[in-house]
Amino acid sequence: MKEENLVMDKAEDFAIRICNLYSYLCEKQKEKILSNQILRSGTSIGANIAEAIYAESPEDFTHKLKISRKEANETRYWLKLLFRSNKINETEYKSMLTDCEALIKLLSKIILTCQNNNR
């Protein structure tokens, strides 16, 4: 039976959306530079959460989640550039942005809880 991990599940779902966006950008928009950047940062969110799960200490756990949050923030930046450069439409942008910001908020809450517990 799979143990539930809300933040990991959301990060995996988001990474799949990012991979689909990457394919769309490469195939339909012939866009390579921004698509590579958002693929790296958008999939790194979950990768860093996965690392945090086996962290060596509570401080290491928090640090890995902070890296994940930074990657999510970077992804938000690339989404904005893709929208402003007309590579994705407003509906696509808002949908992806909503998911990205939800991850940032969730990670921020977990980080804050960890920091309070480590005091």
Q: Which amino acid is at 27?
A: E
In this prediction, residue 1 carries a pLDDT of 43
4: phi then psi, degrees, rounded to nearest 5: -80, 135
In this prediction, residue 119 carries a pLDDT of 72
In this predicted model, what pLDDT tens digit does every residue of 27-77 receive, in sequence order? Answer: 999 999 999 999 999 999 999 999 999 999 999 999 999 999 999 999 999
CA separation for the pair 99, 79 (Å, rounded)? 11
Q: Where are the domains of the chain?
A: 6-117
Percent of the chain with pLDDT over 70: 97
Given phi > 0 = left and psi -120 to 50 = alpha, else beta, which region is 5?
Answer: beta
CA separation for the pair 117, 77 (Å, rounded)? 31
CATH superfamily, domain at 6-117: 23S rRNA-intervening sequence (1.20.1440.60)
What would the mean pLDDT of 87-107 be, rounded to a whole number?
Answer: 98
Q: What is the dihedral of CA 78, 79, 81, 83, to 10 degrees?
A: 160
In this prediction, residue 3 carries a pLDDT of 64
Instruction: Please say whether the beta carbons of 74 and 40 come within 8 A.
Output: no
